[in-house]
C-alpha cells in the first residue's frame, strides 16, 4: 500500500490499540503528521478501559508532543479509520465503526485484510513500517525531530532496546533517524514502575532450572515486555545457566524473551522454534524474543477457559524448550568427516551470479558494513576483495584468486531484484551505497565435485572456516562436502540445491 492512496479521504481517524505502547503512539503520530501535512481533518485516538499512566509514556506524550487523545466513548463514524500497530477487529482494539478501514501493523496476519493494509510480519515495529511508507512518499521525518525521536523509541521499546531486531529495514531506520537523545534517555530510565520491579523480583524467585540442558524458565505476571529482557539478561549471568526463557501470558498474547550465552544455541533460532506455527519469534544470536497468538493456539487445542489457555501456553513452551535440544545434531567440520557411502556425487551447474569489486564502491582500506536480509557483515576493503551475490540475494566476500578460479567474469550488469537489496555503508562516515548498481555477472566454471545428501535431521554446522557461528540445516536441506577436502562441509538450501548442482 502507498500512503497517497489514502488521500482521497478527508475525515480520518487513526486508532492505536487499547493500552497503547510507545510503538502504537509513535506510528500513529507519524501517520497523523502525514495527513496533517496534506491538510486533512485527522485525529489520533486510543480507546479501551485504561488511560495511559506508565511514566515513560506520559513523558513521551509530553516531551514529544504526541497529539493523541483518549476517547473511551468515541461515537463519530469517520470516513476512514486506520488502526496502527494492531488489526481492526482484534480483541486488543476497541471496535470503532467507520466507512472505510485501513490497517498498518507488524504482527502476525490472522484475519482477512480490509481494502487498505500494510502488514509486514518480520518487521520489528509499526514505527518502521510508517517510516518506510513516509519515505516512499518522498518525506524525510528528520525534518520533524520529535517525530523522528518517537519512531526511534517505538522501535527501541518493541525490540527490547534494539536487541531483538532482525530485519534490515529496522536497522536502516535506526541508523538514519536523527533523534533527541536526552529524551530517549529520560524515557528509558522511567521504564519500570516500582510495582514492576516487584514483579521482576517475584518472577526470578520462582525460576525453574533444567540441569540436563542448563536452561532456566522464568514465568512472570503480565508486564512491560521489555522487563522480560531485563529478567533473562540478569538471570543468564548465573553460573551453570546457558540459556534463559522468560515469558508472560496475557489476554491478548503470550510474550517471551530468550537469551543464550553458548555458541551451540542461537537465541533467534530458538525463538523461531518456540513460536513456529503459533506466533512469531526472532532477533539476534544472543538475544531474541517473540509472541504466541491465542488465536493460533486455539487451532491446536480448543481453549474454552482462561485457565486452559494459561495451562496450554505454559505446557507448550516447556515442551518445546525440552524438545528443542533433541531436534538437531551438531557437526564440527574441523574434527569430523561425513560417510560418503550414503551420499551421491554431484557437480556444480553453470549459473549466473553477481560480483562486485569492492574498491569500485569505496577506496582501499575503508571499513564497511554490508547489510543483507540475513544480517550485517563488517568487511575491510582491499584491492583484491570481491563480493559475490547469490541467487537469493545472499552476499559473501571472495578473494580475487577464488573468483578467477571458480568463475568467468563478464562486463555485463547483474540486474536482479531481491526482497531487500543489499547495501553497503561506510562504517566511519555512514555514507550508504546500493550494491546492485555496481554488480556485474559472473558465470560459475567450477569443476570440483561434491558428495551430498538431504538431511533427515536438523543440523548445526560449525564449518572449518567458522568455528564460532553455526549454519543451520533444516530437514530437506542438503549437507555436502568437497571431494578434494572432506573437512570442507557445507549446507545447501533445499530449494537451491537442484538449481546449483546436478548428479554425476
Counting contacts by CB under 5 A, is residue 158 touching Mn ion? Answer: yes
> How far is the C-alpha of 353 from the C-alpha of 395, rounded, in Å?
10
- For the chain, how far is it from start to end, CA to CA, in angstroms? 48
Other C-beta atoms closer than 10 Å to the C-beta of 137 total: 13
Closer by beta carbon to Mn ion, 22 or else 356: 22
One symbol per residue from 372 to 411: x for binding Mn ion (CB under 5 A), - otherwise; what is it?
A: ----------------------------------------
Give CA–CA dist 342/353, Å, rounded. Answer: 30
Number of H helices and number of E strands within the chain?
14, 29
Minimum CB–partner distance for residue 105 and Mn ion (Å): 8
Which residue, 170 or 477, has its beta carbon nearer to Mn ion?
Answer: 170
Shortest Å, Cβ 64 to Mn ion: 17
Given the complex with Mn ion, which of 85 and 118 has the nearer CB atom?
85
Number of residues that bind Mn ion (CB under 5 A): 4
Instruction: Locate all alpha helices (DSSP H) within 206-356, ordered by sequence.
Output: 225-235, 267-275, 294-300, 306-324
Nearest partner of 316 among 247, 215, 265, 251, judged by Cα:
247
| Stretch of 15-23, 199-207, 253-261, 323-331 contacting Mn ion, by CB under 5 A | 15-23
Q: Does 477 interact with Mn ion (rule: CB under 5 A)? A: no
Is 31 or 436 the residue whose CB approaches Mn ion more closely?
31
Q: How far is the CB of 22 from Mn ion (least distance, A)?
A: 8
Please, what is the minimum distance in Å from the beta carbon of residue 128 to Mn ion?
Answer: 9
Give the shortest CB-107-to-Mn ion separation in angstroms.
7
Quick one: 81 or 155, whose CB is closer to Mn ion? 155
Give whichever of 92 and 235 is closer to Mn ion, judged by the CB atom: 92
Min separation Cβ 424 and Mn ion, Å = 29
- In angstroms and rounded to an integer, the radius of gyration of the C-alpha atoms of the chain is 25
Q: What is the dihedral of CA 122, 124, 126, 129, to 10 degrees?
A: -60
Q: Please identify, using beta-carbon distances, which residue of 123 and 387 lies nearer to Mn ion.
A: 123
Which residues on neighbouring strands pair with residue 461, listed in sequence order?
331, 471
- By rule CB under 5 A, what string of x and - marks binding of each residue 113-132 to Mn ion? -------------x------
Q: Which is nearer to Mn ion, 150 or 356 (CB)?
A: 150
Q: Pull the grid cell for residue 254.
A: 503470550
Task: Enter the DSSP assignment of 333.
Answer: T
Q: Shortest distance, CB of residue 49 to Mn ion, whole angstroms? A: 20
Which residues within the stretch 268-297 sit at the binding site for Mn ion (CB under 5 A)?
A: none
Stretch of 45-53, 68-76, 151-159, 302-310 contacting Mn ion, by CB under 5 A? 151-159
Comparing every residue's Cβ against Mn ion, the nearest one is: 23
Nearer of residues 130 and 492 to Mn ion, judged by Cβ? 130
Binding residue for Mn ion, selected from 16, 17, 23, 102, defined by CB under 5 A = 23
Q: Which is nearer to Mn ion, 119 or 442 (CB)?
A: 119
Residue 387: φ, ψ to 5°:
-120, 130
Q: In the complex with Mn ion, which residue's Cβ is closer, 23 or 196?
A: 23
Nearest approach in angstroms of CB 375 to Mn ion is 22
- In three state form, how does the secondary structure of 171-239 look? HHHHHHCCCCHHHHHHHHCCCCCHHHHHHHHHHHHCCEEECCCCEEEEEECCCCHHHHHHHHHHHCCCC
Residue 391: all three cell numbers together: 541467487
Distance separating alpha carbons of residues 161 and 165, to the nearest angstrom: 9
* N residues, the chain: 504
Q: Check binding of 172 to Mn ion (CB under 5 A).
A: no
Continuous H helices in 364-415: 400-406
Applying the rule CB under 5 A, the residues between 66 and 105 that interact with Mn ion are 85
Q: Residue 101 CB, nearest distance to Mn ion (Å)? A: 19
Min dist. Cβ of residue 158 to Mn ion (A) = 4
Q: Which pairs from 232-238 meet CB under 8 Å and 24+ separation?
A: 232/257, 232/258, 232/259, 233/259, 233/287, 234/204, 235/204, 235/207, 235/259, 236/260, 236/261
Closer CB to Mn ion, residue 92 or residue 372? 92
- Containing 168, the helix (H) or strand (E) segment is helix 168-176
Pick the closest to residue 478 from 489, 468, 486, 469 (CA basis).
489
| 126/317 with CB nearer Mn ion | 126
Of 43-51, 111-119, 152-160, 496-504, which part binds Mn ion (CB under 5 A)? 152-160
Q: Report the distance separating Cα 71 and Cα 73, nearest Å.
A: 5
| Segment contacting Mn ion by CB under 5 A, of 16-24, 33-41, 142-150, 390-398 | 16-24
Shortest CB 429 distance to Mn ion, Å: 32
- 74 contacts 46 by C-beta, under 8 angstroms: no
Closest contact distance (angstroms) between CB of 240 and Mn ion is: 35
Instruction: Kindly state the smallest distance separating residue 285's Cβ from Mn ion, in Å.
Output: 23
Positions in the binding site for Mn ion (CB under 5 A)? 23, 85, 126, 158
Amino acid at each position: 500500500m502507498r500512503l497517497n492512496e489514502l488521500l482521497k479521504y478527508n475525515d480520518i481517524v487513526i486508532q492505536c490499540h487499547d493500552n497503547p505502547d510507545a510503538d502504537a503512539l509513535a506510528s500513529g503520530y507519524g501517520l497523523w503528521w502525514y495527513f496533517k501535512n496534506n491538510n486533512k481533518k485527522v485525529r489520533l485516538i486510543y480507546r479501551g478501559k485504561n488511560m495511559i499512566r506508565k511514566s515513560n509514556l506520559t513523558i513521551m506524550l509530553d516531551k514529544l508532543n504526541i497529539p493523541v487523545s483518549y476517547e473511551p466513548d468515541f461515537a463519530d463514524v469517520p470516513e476512514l479509520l486506520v488502526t496502527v500497530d494492531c488489526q481492526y477487529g482484534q480483541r486488543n482494539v476497541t471496535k470503532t465503526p467507520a466507512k472505510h478501514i485501513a490497517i498498518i501493523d507488524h504482527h502476525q496476519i490472522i484475519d482477512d485484510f480490509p481494502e487498505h493494509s500494510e502488514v509486514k510480519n518480520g518487521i520489528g515495529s509499526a514505527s518502521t513500517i510508517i517510516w518506510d511508507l513516509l519515505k516512499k512518499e518522498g518525506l524525510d521525518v528528520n525534518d520533524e525531530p520529535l517525530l523522528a525521536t518517537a519512531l526511534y523509541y517505538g522501535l527501541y521499546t518493541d525490540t527490547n532496546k534494539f536487541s531483538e531486531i532482525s530485519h534490515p529495514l529496522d536497522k536502516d531506520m535506526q541508523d538514519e533517524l536523527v533523534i533527541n537523545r536526552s529524551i530517549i534517555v529520560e524515557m528509558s530510565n522511567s521504564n519500570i514502575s516500582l510495582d514492576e520491579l516487584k514483579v521482576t523480583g517475584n518472577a526470578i524467585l520462582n525460576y525453574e532450572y533444567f540441569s540436563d540442558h542448563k536452561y532456566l524458565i522464568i514465568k512472570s505476571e503480565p508486564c512491560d515486555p521489555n522487563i522480560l529482557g531485563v529478567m533473562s539478561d540478569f538471570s543468564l549471568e548465573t553460573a551453570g545457566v546457558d540459556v534463559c526463557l522468560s515469558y508472560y501470558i496475557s489476554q491478548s498474547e503470550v510474550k517471551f524473551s530468550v537469551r543464550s550465552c553458548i555458541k551451540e544455541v542461537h537465541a533467534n533460532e530458538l525463538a523461531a522454534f518456540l513460536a513456529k506455527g503459533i506466533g512469531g519469534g526472532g532477533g539476534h544470536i544472543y538475544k531474541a524474543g517473540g509472541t504466541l497468538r491465542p488465536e493460533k493456539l486455539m487451532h491446536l487445542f480448543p481453549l474454552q477457559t482462561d485457565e486452559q489457555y494459561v495451562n496450554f501456553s505454559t505446557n507448550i513452551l516447556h515442551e518445546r524448550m525440552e524438545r528443542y535440544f533433541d531436534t538437531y545434531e551438531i557437526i564440527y567440520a574441523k574434527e569430523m568427516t561425513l560417510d560418503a557411502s550414503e551420499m551421491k556425487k554431484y557437480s556444480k551447474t553453470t549459473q549466473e551470479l553477481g560480483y562486485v569489486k569492492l574498491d569500485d564502491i569505496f577506496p582501499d582500506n575503508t571499513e564497511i558494513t554490508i547489510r543483507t536480509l540475513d544480517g550485517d557483515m563488517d568487511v575491510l576493503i582491499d584491492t583484491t576483495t570481491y563480493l559475490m551475490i547469490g541467487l537469493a540475494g545472499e552476499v559473501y566476500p571472495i578473494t580475487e584468486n577464488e573468483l578467477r578460479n571458480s568463475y568467468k567474469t563478464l562486463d555485463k550488469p547483474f540486474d536482479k531484484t531481491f526482497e531487500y537489496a543489499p547495501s553497503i555503508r561506510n562504517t566511519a562516515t555512514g555514507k550508504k551505497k546500493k550494491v546492485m548498481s555496481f554488480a556485474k555477472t559472473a558465470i560459475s566454471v567450477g569443476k570440483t565435485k561434491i558428495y551430498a545428501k538431504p538431511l533427515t535431521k536438523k543440523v548445526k554446522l560449525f564449518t572449518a572456516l567458522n568455528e564460532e557461528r553455526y549454519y543451520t540445516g533444516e530437514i530437506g536441506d542438503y549437507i555436502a562436502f568437497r571431494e578434494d577436502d572432506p573437512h570442507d562441509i557445507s549446507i545447501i538450501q533445499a530449494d537451491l540445491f537442484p538449481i546449483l548442482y546436478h548428479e554425476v
